[in-house]
């Protein structure tokens, strides 16, 4: 059977929206359903499959590194967005939205790491709360990342006049101009 996107329909705005919004949202909802149906956020039992698979789960001495390294990388990734904290934005609301989204993208990996540590205690009511919090934090992270993609596109409407100045590139290279 031929899928909904055949031929050149992938290049249409509807086709692109289907691929980038529908598929990613569907993937997020399926992952949230998997998390909600699991007994733990990180299942390391030898009999069952891993919720978040890692081939090094059997090495207890490296367990801290295995969890902390991706968290550090994600915090650095979010911190890159915080560089624009004091940049000029077209409106105060856009600056506030950028700051909230950048701070959330920076802090969310730490929160998810703590939730995984708390989830290892396997208290029934605590597990339900942790899963609910994990899914809601993941959804808010998804929204914050979308905002960090949308805000620069919106900011293009109010470029400063210096952005429209024609640059004489040949004057910047020695021995050419």
Torsion of CA 145, 147, 148, 149, to 10 degrees: 90
- List, for residues 63-117, the tens digit of each pLDDT value: 666 778 888 899 999 999 999 999 988 899 999 999 999 999 999 998 888 887 7
d(CA 107, CA 74): 9
- Looking at residue 27, its pLDDT comes to 75
pLDDT, tens only, 119-132: 766 666 677 787 88
More confident residue, 124 or 154: 154
Residue with the two structure tokens 């149906």: 37
Q: What is the pLDDT of residue 100?
A: 95
Mean pLDDT of the chain: 76
Does residue 50 come out as left (phi exceeding 0), alpha (psi in the -120 to 50 range) or beta?
beta
Distance between CA atoms of 149 and 95, rounded to whole angstroms? 14
Domain positions in the chain are 10-39, 59-177
* Tokens of residue 48, six digits: 């069952």
The pTM is what? Answer: 0.59
pLDDT at position 1, please?
41
pLDDT tens for residues 11-54?
566 776 676 666 777 777 777 777 666 655 555 555 555 555 54
Q: Which two tokens stand for residue 25?
A: 């949202």
Judged on CB neighbours under 10 Å (0-12, 13-18, 19+), 68 is exposed
Residue 102: the pLDDT is 95
């Amino acid at each position: 059977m031929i899928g909904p996107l055949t031929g050149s329909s992938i290049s249409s705005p509807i086709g692109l929206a289907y691929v980038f919004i529908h598929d990613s949202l569907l993937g997020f909802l399926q992952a949230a359903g998997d998390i909600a149906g699991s007994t733990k956020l990180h299942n390391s039992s030898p009999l069952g499959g891993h919720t978040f698979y890692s081939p090094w789960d059997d090495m207890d001495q490296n367990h801290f590194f295995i969890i902390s390294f991706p968290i550090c990388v994600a915090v650095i990734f979010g911190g890159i967005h915080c560089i624009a904290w004091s940049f000029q934005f077209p409106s105060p609301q856009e600056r506030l939205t950028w700051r909230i989204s950048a701070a959330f993208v920076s802090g969310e990996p730490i929160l998810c790491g703590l939730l995984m540590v708390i989830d290892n205690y396997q208290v029934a009511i605590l597990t339900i709360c942790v899963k609910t919090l994990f899914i809601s934090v993941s959804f808010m992270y998804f929204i914050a990342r979308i905002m960090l993609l949308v805000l620069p596109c919106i900011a293009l409407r109010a470029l400063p006049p210096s952005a429209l100045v024609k640059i004489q590139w040949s004057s910047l290279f020695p021995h050419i101009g």
